[in-house]
Structure 1
Amino acid sequence: MTIKNQSAFIRAIANDNSLPIEKAALELWIKDLENPFRWTLRPLLQLIFALLLHVTWFVKRLPLPQFSGHSLLQKMICWFCKHLVSPEANLLILRHFATESNILNFLSENSGQSVVVDLYPKRIDDMLQDTFVKHDQELFDAFLHLGDVKNAQNKFYSAITWQRWQTIDMADFKLERKASQVIDFETAHALFMCLFCFLLKRDEYRDAINGFNLDQSIAIRIGRIINKPEIVEMAYNKYPHYLVGPWNLSQRFLMHGFFTEYLYAELEEIRLSAVGKEADNEQIADES
Structure 2
Amino acid sequence: MNNQQRSAYLQALQYDNSFPIEQAAVDLWLKDLDNPFRWTARPILQFLFAILLHLTWFFKRLPLPQFRAHGVLQWTICWFCKHFVSYEANLLILRHYATESNLLNFLATNSGKTPPELLRLYPKTIADMREDSFVKHDQELFRVFKALGYWDKGNATHANSLNWQAWQPIDMQQFQVKKRWTQVVDFESAHALFMCLFCLLLTREEYRDAINGFNLDQSIALRLSDILATPALAEMAYNKFPLYLVGPWNLGQRFLMHGFFTEYLYAALETKRQSSEAV
TM-score (norm 1): 0.94
Q: Is the 8 A contact 2:213 2:242 kept in 1?
A: yes
Match of 2:6 in 1: 6
Aligned counterparts of 2:104 and 2:40: Cα–Cα separation in 1: 36
Aligned counterparts of 2:132 and 2:157: Cα–Cα separation in 1: 35
Matches of residues 1-288 of structure 1 in structure 2 within 5 Å?
Answer: 1-111=1-111, 112-115=113-116, 116-129=118-131, 131-151=133-153, 153=155, 155-277=157-279
> Unpaired runs of 5+ in structure 2?
none
TM-score (norm 2): 0.97
Count of aligned pairs:
277
Q: Is the 8 A contact 1:70 1:130 kept in 2?
A: no
Residue deviations 1:151-204 (CA, integer Å, cap 9, x gap): 465654430001100000000001111100011100000111100000000000
Identity %: 63
Counterpart code for 1:100:
E
* Displacement of 1:109: 0.3
The structure-2 alpha-carbon separation of the partners of 1:18 and 1:153, relative to structure 1 and needing over 3 Å to count, comes to: farther
* Displacement of 1:39: 0.9
Question: Larger deviation: 109-118 or 232-241?
Answer: 109-118
Counterpart code for 1:145:
A
Q: Is the 8 A contact 1:154 1:226 kept in 2?
A: no
SS of equivalent residue, structure 1 residue 150:
coil
> Unpaired runs of 5+ in structure 1?
278-288
* Displacement of 1:148: 2.2
Report the structure number with the largest CA radius of gyration. 1
Aligned counterparts of 1:176 and 1:18: Cα–Cα separation in 2: 33
Aligned counterparts of 1:130 and 1:160: Cα–Cα separation in 2: 27
* Displacement of 1:124: 0.3
Runs of 4+ in 1 over 3 A off after TM superposition: 151-158
Larger % of helix: which? 1
Q: Is the 8 A contact 1:83 1:180 kept in 2?
A: yes
SS of equivalent residue, structure 1 residue 158:
coil
Aligned counterparts of 1:113 and 1:182: Cα–Cα separation in 2: 45
Aligned counterparts of 2:247 and 2:92: Cα–Cα separation in 1: 25
Q: Is the 8 A contact 1:153 1:224 kept in 2?
A: no
Residue deviations 1:110-136 (CA, integer Å, cap 9, x gap): 002322111000000001126100000
